[in-house]
A and B are shown apart, each in its own frame.
Chain A
Amino acid sequence: MIRFLLGRLVGLLLTLWISSFVVFAALYLAPGDPISFLTGGREVSPLTLAELRHQYQLDQPFLVRYADWLGGVLHGHLGQSIVAHQDVSTLIGARAQTSALLVGYAAVLIILGGIAAGTIAALFKGPLDSGITLGTTVGLALPSFVTAIALISVFAVDVRWFPVFGDGSGLLDRLWHLTLPAIALAVSSSALIARITRGALREELGREHVETARSRGIPRRKILRRHVLRNGMIPVTTVAGITVAGLVAGSVVVERAFNLNGLGSFLVQSVAANDFPAVQAVVLLMVAVFVILSTVVDLLYPLIDPRMARGGTQ
């Protein structure tokens, strides 16, 4: 167990290090610089320009800047945003909350909605099953921004049940603000989970031991709980875990559509401004969250399926 975790940790660090270098190089090569973005194309005296470039070390060679940045990170400083004149950690902190809440909210919707729909479709053949299957086929093909635009038009502008933008303050208000975005983010993923659930449960239902149990007269409810649901949840957990991990980055589209100040929109803004300390920090955070979440999913296996040996990831 400890070896497994250590291995994952080394992998994570390696991934972060390589990613940071690639991102740094990409932004270094990208045309445009943060100072010209900061001044919006207005005339600035050459002296001021030189001073600003010096303050943010833009006049240093690439490797010196990278080494300097890396040194800072090792000492716990993520650096200063060039555009916002403040520590990147401050900038990210506020936005990470919004993103985490959005992804968490969407994850709950995805898992509850998806499993419920999938289970119903698996257990009740006939029109209910066909309806859900049709729904998931359409849902799976729905891009999140299309859902977002539809939701805004109907629920925020026409009937005005929900606010059209912003992240709110206080937990309840925030959830209120994030409801439409979370639904937009969840629709296609819950369709996926529903299909996986339906498929997995149908497969379990057709297994020999289930048939045997049924012929023995064990109550259906009990069979479902003990055998079908438990075993059927294994593939569902894997997919759900990875799907949720992917939402962290995928939420950018929804954040944009709802004008939320989350990590995704911050990333797009920072790249547009060539504000590399900010971009670096967001990228590293997203990569780390993804790796950690997928590790957690791996760790969850043995809990659901006692037969699985630990460390089994295939």
Chain B
Amino acid sequence: MERREGNDRTTASPASPTRRLCSPAAALAVGTAFALTAVAGCASPARAPVAAPDAKQLAVFTPAATHDAGKVVWNLPYGEPSSLDWTKAYSYSENTVVANLCEGLYRLTPDYKVVPNLATATVHPDPTTYVYTIRQGVTFWDGSPMTATDVVYSLSRQLDPSVASLWAGSYQHVKSITKTGAYQVTVKLTKPDALFDRWLATAAGDVGSAKFYTAKGAAAGTPTGGEMCTGQYKVQSWKVGQSVTLVRNDAYWDRTRLAKTKTFEFRWVMDEAPLTNALLTGQIDGTYDAPLSGLGQLRTGAPGKLWLGKTQQSVALVFSTRKSPLQDIRIRQALQLAIDYQGIDKQIYKDTASPLRAYGGTGIWGYAQDMYSAAYAKLPAAQTDLAAARKLVKDAGSPKGEIVIASVSDQPLYSQLATVVQDAGKKVGLNIRLQSFPTSTYTTFFSDVKARSQVDAFFTTNYTDLPEPLELYGTFRPGEFFNFGAYDNAATTAAINKALVTEDDAQRAEFTVQAQAQITKDVAVLPIAEPANRLFMNNRITGAPASFVYLYAPWAADVGAK
């Protein structure tokens, strides 16, 4: 239930390594006493302060670990990884683990900066050519040196049909990947696609041993096949159905970034109640996506601390093309005005979400902060106004037609949200029926027009892989994969098209902001909430980044004892 879109072009010269100006200690000091939680506000140096009064102050770092915690047990709330092969790491569990094993040419930092990693330098001589200088002295876990051959092999693997990489989409414009020197790799594109280079900071750019993966074939990434990368951790064991255990790679190339903790064990407790119990009793040390229903206990009764971090996620109600009263913009506006956003934050998210003024939240502005921030502040705040909503419904002729909203039977969050939306509809005279689907059916709504035509609207939790608002708004052009409601507005399309070819950050932001304004005005999507990144660590450990960076950045290495 997330999305990405691979068509925009942005300049992507990797930034120079950023110093963490916002030190963990500072993070604590700045910590504001927001609500009941200990929320540490820590704006990264390059950013203007967030100018959205209705958004919560969110943390980026947690206090640095001082020494080895011995063993840390960490939870994967989305279940056992289906594979640890980076070409198949395309969702929460897989990426959360793989990010610590395999690294790519670039690395993401917790404050969303892209810094050089296995590549020391990038030259971008013309719009379709990238020349990467490969770092020397890096070794795989088995001690063999990483060479340009391994890089060429790993990147090419994304295009191998027999591998069927889930990341292949980000390589759609790649013409050739060649070794042009002992430590140099050149990638040629068929047409300009600056985002290609950016994807290399995600799992799409990971590098593994050519020899190993050639030998293992399809077994790579499975519990028996194993993997061979260069990261701070290597896999010690994978007990099917039980646990994945990582152990520190003591020969890691960057001695300053050696993993703090010797052993990292991943478990997967998916249901909220058992997970809360496990965190309360200390059987699990930490988790991202801390269970909402257990937050009360985790805040007050737990031997640990809940951190609310910067996020790239947003939750929204999206519309299908099925005929219903929702096709009338006034009905969509009415519904938007009827929803109890405060109640959603208080009761469903337990004070951990912010209302959204637009589809994309405040956490995805990776550049041109002031512009995005100013534009966001100009949009109307999400608030409940039942009188205005009722008037809109009346103006629209008080349609009696049924509106079917889908929820997911095995995910309580969506049933709760659906109940709130149904209740909102009822208050303004809309006839909303809820229908719940198992996850397997629900996921087909995203890919199959016919499947989603069973309902009029459904919920999504989106995240952008990169801090780039265009990743979200780019999907509102006709024919896009994620344009569920077949939204088609000439002004929006024109703005997006311009943004996609604009390499200058400020200019691109300007076009993106135009698209954002139009899409928001048309209620092409109904933003519900921006859930903070919920990190829980017990008192024994500290150091995990608080921001939503754990899918692609090597976060576990920072976790250790206080």
Interface residue ranges, A against B (CB under 8 Å): 30-34, 36-45, 47-48, 51-52, 55, 83-86, 90-91, 93-95, 98, 152, 156-157, 160, 163-167, 169, 256-259, 261, 266, 269, 271-274
Q: Within the assembled complex, what's the spacing in Å between the Cα atoms of A39 and B444?
A: 10
Residue of B nearest to A149 (CB): B273
Q: Within the assembled complex, what's the spacing in Å between the Cα atoms of A34 and B443?
A: 10
* Cβ–Cβ contact B4 & A261, under 8 A: no
**Stretch in B39-47, B132-140, B178-186, B446-454 touching the partner:** B446-454
Known contacts being A32-B440, A48-B164, A272-B439, is A42 close to B90, with CB within 8 Å? yes
* Cβ–Cβ contact B277 & A152, under 8 A: yes
Q: Within the assembled complex, what's the spacing in Å between the Cα atoms of A257 and B271?
A: 8
Distance (whole angstroms) from the CB of A203 to the closest CB of chain B? 44
Q: Within the assembled complex, what's the spacing in Å between the Cα atoms of A37 and B440?
A: 6
**Stretch in B216-224, B395-403, B487-495 touching the partner:** B216-224
* Residues of chain B within 8 A of A165, CB atoms compared: 269, 274-275, 277-278, 283
* Cβ–Cβ contact B283 & A272, under 8 A: no
Which of A37, A90, A165 has the most C-beta atoms of chain B within 10 angstroms of its own C-beta? Answer: A165
Distance (whole angstroms) from the CB of B458 to the closest CB of chain A? 10
Q: Within the assembled complex, what's the spacing in Å between the Cα atoms of A269 and B238?
A: 19
* Cβ–Cβ contact A41 & B2, under 8 A: yes
Q: Within the assembled complex, what's the spacing in Å between the Cα atoms of A156 and B6?
A: 48
* Residues of chain B within 8 A of A41, CB atoms compared: 1-3, 442-443, 445-447, 460
* Residues of chain A within 8 A of B239, CB atoms compared: 94
Sample of 29 A–B contacts (CB below 8 Å): A31-B441, A31-B444, A31-B451, A34-B440, A36-B443, A36-B447, A36-B448, A37-B440, A39-B90, A41-B2, A41-B445, A41-B447, A42-B3, A42-B4, A44-B168, A44-B169, A48-B165, A51-B162, A83-B82, A85-B222, A86-B240, A94-B239, A157-B280, A157-B281, A166-B267, A258-B274, A259-B271, A261-B242, A272-B410
4 A-B pairs with least C-beta separation:
A41-B446, A32-B440, A164-B277, A259-B274
Residue of A nearest to B80 (CB): A84
Q: Within the assembled complex, what's the spacing in Å between the Cα atoms of A51 and B275?
A: 37
0/1 string, B1-40, CB within 8 A of A gives 1:
1111110000000000000000000000000000000000
Tell me, yes or no, whether B367 is within 8 Å of chain A by CB.
no
Interface residue ranges, B against A (CB under 8 Å): 1-6, 79-80, 82-83, 85, 88, 90-92, 161-162, 164-166, 168-169, 172, 218, 221-224, 239-242, 267, 269-271, 273-275, 277-278, 280-281, 283, 410, 438-448, 451, 460, 481-482
Q: Within the assembled complex, what's the spacing in Å between the Cα atoms of A32 and B446?
A: 11
* Cβ–Cβ contact B440 & A273, under 8 A: yes
Q: Within the assembled complex, what's the spacing in Å between the Cα atoms of A144 and B95?
A: 36
Q: Of the candidates B5, B241, B440, B481, which one forms a contact with A94 in the assembled complex, judged by CB atoms under 8 Å apart?
A: B241
* Cβ–Cβ contact B443 & A45, under 8 A: no
* Cβ–Cβ contact A32 & B274, under 8 A: no
Residue of A nearest to B440 (CB): A32
Distance (whole angstroms) from the CB of A210 to the closest CB of chain B? 50
* Cβ–Cβ contact A272 & B267, under 8 A: no
Known contacts being A48-B165, A90-B223, is A36 close to B271, with CB within 8 Å? no
Q: Of the candidates A32, A55, A84, A257, which one forms a contact with B82 in the assembled complex, judged by CB atoms under 8 Å apart?
A: A84
Q: Within the assembled complex, what's the spacing in Å between the Cα atoms of A167 and B278?
A: 13
Q: Of the candidates A45, A55, A152, which one forms a contact with B168 in the assembled complex, judged by CB atoms under 8 Å apart?
A: A45
Residue of A nearest to B448 (CB): A36
Distance (whole angstroms) from the CB of B367 to the closest CB of chain A? 23
* Cβ–Cβ contact B240 & A47, under 8 A: no
Residue of A nearest to B222 (CB): A86
Residue of A nearest to B165 (CB): A48
Q: Of the candidates B2, B241, B439, which one forms a contact with A42 in the assembled complex, judged by CB atoms under 8 Å apart?
A: B2
* Cβ–Cβ contact B90 & A32, under 8 A: no
Q: Within the assembled complex, what's the spacing in Å between the Cα atoms of A257 and B273?
A: 9
* Residues of chain B within 8 A of A36, CB atoms compared: 440, 443-444, 446-448
Q: Of the candidates B83, B161, B267, B482, which one forms a contact with A43 in the assembled complex, judged by CB atoms under 8 Å apart?
A: B482
Q: Within the assembled complex, what's the spacing in Å between the Cα atoms of A259 and B161?
A: 37
Q: Within the assembled complex, what's the spacing in Å between the Cα atoms of A165 and B273?
A: 10
10 extra A-B contacts, CB within 8 A, seeds A33-B444, A41-B443, A94-B242: A32-B442, A41-B442, A42-B2, A42-B91, A45-B168, A45-B172, A85-B222, A165-B269, A259-B270, A272-B440
* Cβ–Cβ contact A43 & B3, under 8 A: yes
Q: Within the assembled complex, what's the spacing in Å between the Cα atoms of A233 and B102?
A: 61
* Cβ–Cβ contact A40 & B1, under 8 A: yes
* Residues of chain A within 8 A of B280, CB atoms compared: 157
Which of A42, A152, A169, A272 has the most C-beta atoms of chain B within 10 angstroms of its own C-beta? Answer: A42
* Cβ–Cβ contact A47 & B168, under 8 A: yes
* Cβ–Cβ contact B169 & A156, under 8 A: no
Known contacts being A31-B451, A39-B166, is A164 close to B242, with CB within 8 Å? no
* Cβ–Cβ contact A32 & B164, under 8 A: no
Q: Within the assembled complex, what's the spacing in Å between the Cα atoms of A273 and B79?
A: 12
* Residues of chain B within 8 A of A47, CB atoms compared: 161, 168
Q: Within the assembled complex, what's the spacing in Å between the Cα atoms of A271 and B440?
A: 8
Known contacts being A85-B222, A152-B277, is A40 close to B2, with CB within 8 Å? yes
Residue of A nearest to B83 (CB): A85
Q: Within the assembled complex, what's the spacing in Å between the Cα atoms of A164 and B165?
A: 38
Q: Of the candidates A31, A33, A38, A266, which one forms a contact with B241 in the assembled complex, judged by CB atoms under 8 Å apart?
A: A266
Known contacts being A37-B440, A163-B283, A256-B271, is A48 close to B277, with CB within 8 Å? no
* Cβ–Cβ contact B277 & A157, under 8 A: yes
Q: Within the assembled complex, what's the spacing in Å between the Cα atoms of A40 and B218?
A: 21
Distance (whole angstroms) from the CB of A174 to the closest CB of chain B? 11
* Cβ–Cβ contact B2 & A164, under 8 A: no
Q: Within the assembled complex, what's the spacing in Å between the Cα atoms of A93 and B223?
A: 13
Distance (whole angstroms) from the CB of A280 to the closest CB of chain B? 16
* Residues of chain A within 8 A of B269, CB atoms compared: 165-166, 259
Which of A37, A93, A274 has the most C-beta atoms of chain B within 10 angstroms of its own C-beta? Answer: A37
Known contacts being A36-B444, A36-B448, A272-B440, is A90 close to B224, with CB within 8 Å? yes
Residue of A nearest to B223 (CB): A86
* Residues of chain B within 8 A of A169, CB atoms compared: 242
Q: Within the assembled complex, what's the spacing in Å between the Cα atoms of A90 and B90?
A: 23
Distance (whole angstroms) from the CB of B76 to the closest CB of chain A? 12
* Cβ–Cβ contact B5 & A43, under 8 A: yes
Q: Within the assembled complex, what's the spacing in Å between the Cα atoms of A83 and B1?
A: 17
Which of B82, B165, B451 has the most C-beta atoms of chain A within 10 angstroms of its own C-beta? Answer: B82
Residue of B nearest to A34 (CB): B440
Residue of A nearest to B461 (CB): A41
Distance (whole angstroms) from the CB of A100 to the closest CB of chain B? 13
Q: Within the assembled complex, what's the spacing in Å between the Cα atoms of A90 and B224?
A: 10
* Cβ–Cβ contact B224 & A86, under 8 A: yes
* Cβ–Cβ contact B91 & A40, under 8 A: yes
* Cβ–Cβ contact B166 & A48, under 8 A: yes
Q: Within the assembled complex, what's the spacing in Å between the Cα atoms of A261 and B240?
A: 9
Residue of B nearest to A44 (CB): B166
* Residues of chain A within 8 A of B165, CB atoms compared: 48
Distance (whole angstroms) from the CB of A84 to the closest CB of chain B? 5
Q: Within the assembled complex, what's the spacing in Å between the Cα atoms of A95 and B270?
A: 16
Distance (whole angstroms) from the CB of A105 to the closest CB of chain B? 18
* Residues of chain A within 8 A of B447, CB atoms compared: 36, 39, 41
* Residues of chain A within 8 A of B442, CB atoms compared: 32, 41
Distance (whole angstroms) from the CB of B479 to the closest CB of chain A? 13
* Residues of chain B within 8 A of A42, CB atoms compared: 2-4, 90-91, 166, 446
Residue of A nearest to B277 (CB): A164
Residue of B nearest to A262 (CB): B241
Q: Within the assembled complex, what's the spacing in Å between the Cα atoms of A169 and B245?
A: 14
Residue of A nearest to B271 (CB): A259
